[in-house]
Amino acid sequence: MGSAPRPKRVLLFTNSEHGQANVYLATSYALLTLEEEPDVEVHFASFAPIEKFVAATAEYVRHDNSRARPIVFHAIEGVDMMSAWSRPALLSEQEDLKNVNMLLQIFKVLDAIRRTMVLLKVTLPWTGLEFVQIFWSVAGIVRSVQPDIIAVDPAFSPALTALRHIGAKFIILSPNTIKDFAMPLQPNGEALWKYPCVGTGYEYPVPWRHIPMNIFLILVTIFCGIFDSNRRAIQRYVAEHADGAQLTTLNDLSLNPDLGIKFLVANLPEIELPLRLIPAHIIPCGPMIRPARPVEQVDPGLHQWLSNGSTLYINLGTHMLFDEALAVEMATAIRIVLDHAKSVLWRDKRLAKLQVLWKLSRQGGYAVSEPGSAVHKILGQEMKAGTVRVVDWIEAEPTAVLDTGRVVCVVHHGGANSFLETVCAGIPQVVLPVWMDTYDFARRAEILGIGRWGNRVSDKLCQGEELGSILIDVMIGGRSSVYAKKAKQLAELCNESGGGRAVAARYILAEIETEEEEEEEEEARLGDGKEGEKSALLQAGHC
C-alpha cells in the first residue's frame, strides 16, 4: 500500500491588526471546514498579538470539524504594525489628521501634502532595521513550511518584499474593496474625476465643482508617493541589508496587473460603488466574516436583555473616543429617537420595546450613569429602567450581537469590518465617518439603499439633532421598511455559498490544483527531449 497523500498546505501571512487579520481568521476557518476538502493544513504567520484569536478560531474549527488539522501558528519576529503606528510622533500626526476637517482645509495645498505624507508613514511605519528583521523572518517561515500556496496581506509590505525576492508564488487575500484595486485601472481617467479622492467626503460621482480639487489631491498623493523620503530610506536599507531586495508595496502590485498576481477581495460588485471595469486579476469573493461565539454563551445577561425588544446598537470601536461634549451629542440623538418612537406607537407596536445598546469609549474621566452627570440628565430615566445600556466594553463579538436577530439598526464609524459585518447580518446602518476610507463606506450605505451617512452636515463626529433625525428616517420613518428590505436582500446575496470566506477558501485550494496541473504539463513537455528548454527554465528559476 502507498503512503497517504500529503495534505494541501496553505501558508497565510498577515499583519496582526484585526482590520487586516480578520479575513485571514475567517478564511482559516473555512479552509478547515469545507466538506469537499477533507485534508488541509493551515499555517498562520503573524505577530504575537493575534495568536490568541488564531487559537479561538482553531476552537471553532474543532467544534465544527473534529477531524480537521490544528492551525499551526508561526510568530513573525519584529515590531507589529500597531506598535509601529503607536510611536508618539506618528500617533500625534494621525490624531491631527483625524481632527482637522478636510472640507474646511481643502484649499490649503500644504495641508493636503501634509495629510498625504502622514498616510504614507501609516502604511509603511517601520524603520529600515525593523523592516529587514521581518523580511528575514518571513523568508525563514516559507523555507520551513514549504507551502503549496501562500496568501498574503496587501498591507504587509515586508512580507510582499520577501516573497517577491525569493521568487515564491503567492496570491493577495484582502479586506479591501474592489474599488481600492480597480479604480486606478478604470478607463477614460475616471480615477481622477469620477471617484472621490480618499478622505475628502465628496459625493459619488464627484460633482463638477469639486472635480478640479479632486484631481489636484490625487496628483498630490501620487507625487508624494513617488518622492516619499520615508519609503526611499527604507528602500535603501532593504537593498543594503536584504540581499539587494526591491521594496514592494501594495501600490507596486495593484498598479501592475501584468504581474499575474491574483487579488481575492472581501467585496462583491453588488455592494461596491459602480465600476465600469473589474480587471480579471481581481476576484470578488464577498465579505469574509470570522466565526464568533454566540452572545448566549459569552454573556447570558446581555442575551437576555437583547431578547426584551428591538435594539439600536451603537458601536464606534475601541479607538473612537468620546469626550463629554460628544457623548452629550450622541445621548441627545438617542433621546430624540426614543421620544419619536413613543409618539408613533399607535402605528408601530414594535417600538414599544425599543432599546439602545451603546458601547462608549470615553476620553477623560467624566461620569455617565451617576445622577447629575451630563449624559445622565438626558437618558437617566431610560438608563434606570434598563432600556438604555451604556457600557465601556461588550464581551461578545459585534457579529455575535448582530446575529441575535434583535438589532434593528447599527451606528458605526465606517470601518470596512463594521460595514461588511452589518451588511451580512442584513441590518440597516448609520455611518459616522471620521477619516479616509470611512467616508467611502458612508457613501456606499446611501448608494446601496441600506442606510444613511450620519454626520454629513456636522463638522464633528456627531451632532444630536442631525443624527437623531437620520436615525428616525432609518428606523422609524416611512422609508425604514425600504432600508430593511434592501439590507436583507444584500445579506442573502453575501451569505450565498457559505459567504466570502468559503468562496476565498475554495479559490485558494483550486489554485493549488491549477499549479500542480501546470507543473505536470510542463514536466511532460520538457520530457519530450527538449533538454535545452529544460536547462533554460531551470536557470531562470521557473522549475
pLDDT band at 158 (very low <50, low <70, confident <90, very high): very high
Q: Are residues 374 and 515 in the same domain?
A: no
- Range of lowest pLDDT (385-389, 402-406, 441-445, 514-518): 514-518
Q: Are residues 416 and 525 in the same domain?
A: no
Alpha carbons within 13 A on the beta-carbon side of 311: 25
Q: Are residues 265 and 413 in the same domain?
A: no
pLDDT band at 521 (very low <50, low <70, confident <90, very high): low
Residue 215 belongs to a domain: no
Q: Check residues 199 and 205 and name the one with the higher pLDDT.
A: 205
Give per-residue pLDDT as tens, 531-540: 555 444 444 4
Cell of 100: 482637522
Determine contact, residues 411/312, Cβ cutoff 8 Å: yes
Rounded distance between C-alpha atoms, residue 388 and residue 312, angstroms: 9
Q: Are residues 527 and 430 in the same domain?
A: no
Residue 204 belongs to a domain: no
Residue 221 belongs to a domain: no
Give per-residue pLDDT as tens, 367-406: 999 999 999 999 999 999 999 999 999 999 999 999 999 9
Residue 105 belongs to a domain: no
- Range of lowest pLDDT (58-72, 82-96, 436-450, 502-516): 82-96
Q: Are strands 407-412 and 429-431 parallel, antiparallel or unpaired?
A: parallel
Alpha carbons within 13 A on the beta-carbon side of 531: 1
Q: Are residues 473 and 361 in the same domain?
A: yes
Q: Are residues 448 and 525 in the same domain?
A: no
Q: Are residues 18 and 142 in the same domain?
A: yes
Residue whose C-alpha is closest to residue 474's, from 466, 463, 482? 482
Q: Are residues 39 and 79 in the same domain?
A: yes
Write down the mean pLDDT value for the chain: 89
Count CB atoms within 10 A of the CB of residue 222.
14
> What's the confidence (pLDDT) of residue 519?
66
Determine contact, residues 218/198, Cβ cutoff 8 Å: no
DSSP 299-367: -HHHHHHHTTS-EEEEE--SS--B-HHHHHHHHHHHHHHHHHHHHTTTT-GGGGG-EEEEE--BSSS--
Q: Which residues pair with 282 in a beta bridge?
A: 263
Determine contact, residues 130/106, Cβ cutoff 8 Å: no
For the segment 221-227, the average pLDDT, to the nearest whole number, is 82
> What's the confidence (pLDDT) of residue 177?
93
> What's the confidence (pLDDT) of residue 97?
47
> What's the confidence (pLDDT) of residue 159?
98
> What's the confidence (pLDDT) of residue 346?
62
pLDDT band at 528 (very low <50, low <70, confident <90, very high): low
- Range of lowest pLDDT (47-61, 339-353, 411-425): 339-353
Range of the domain at 340: 296-494
Burial 480-490 (b: 16+ CB within 10 A, else e): beebbebbeeb
Q: Are residues 422 and 469 in the same domain?
A: yes
Residue 196 belongs to a domain: no
Residue 206 belongs to a domain: no
> What's the confidence (pLDDT) of residue 105?
43
The backbone torsions φ and ψ at residue 366, rounded to the nearest 5 degrees and listed phi first, read -65, 150
Q: Is the dihedral of CA 184, 186, 189, 191 positive or negative?
A: negative
pLDDT band at 250 (very low <50, low <70, confident <90, very high): confident
Number of domains making up the chain: 2
Q: Are residues 15 and 128 in the same domain?
A: yes
Residue 340 belongs to a domain: yes
Alpha carbons within 13 A on the beta-carbon side of 494: 27
Rounded distance between C-alpha atoms, residue 345 and residue 221, angstroms: 52
- Whether 40 has a pLDDT exceeding 70, the answer reads yes
Sort 523 into a burial class: Cβ within 10 Å, 0-12 / 13-18 / 19+: exposed
- Whether 304 has a pLDDT exceeding 80, the answer reads yes
Give per-residue pLDDT as tens, 334-365: 999 999 999 887 667 677 789 999 999 999 98
Cell of 48: 504575537
Q: Are residues 439 and 488 in the same domain?
A: yes
- Whether 501 has a pLDDT exceeding 50, the answer reads yes
Q: Check residues 330 and 111 and name the one with the higher pLDDT.
A: 330
Q: Are residues 369 and 423 in the same domain?
A: yes
Q: Which of 457, 474, 494 is the last residue of a domain?
A: 494
> What percent of the chain is predicted at pLDDT more than 90?
73
Residue 129 belongs to a domain: yes
For the segment 138-143, the average pLDDT, to the nearest whole number, is 98
77-to-89, 217, 540 alpha-carbon distances in Å = 23, 37, 31
Determine contact, residues 336/472, Cβ cutoff 8 Å: yes
- Whether 78 has a pLDDT exceeding 80, the answer reads yes
Rounded distance between C-alpha atoms, residue 138 and residue 232, angstroms: 22
Q: Is the dihedral of CA 155, 159, 161, 166 positive or negative?
A: negative
Give per-residue pLDDT as tens, 270-288: 999 999 999 999 999 999 9
The backbone torsions φ and ψ at residue 315, rounded to the nearest 5 degrees and listed phi first, read -150, 105
Q: What is the CATH number of the domain that holds 435?
A: 3.40.50.2000
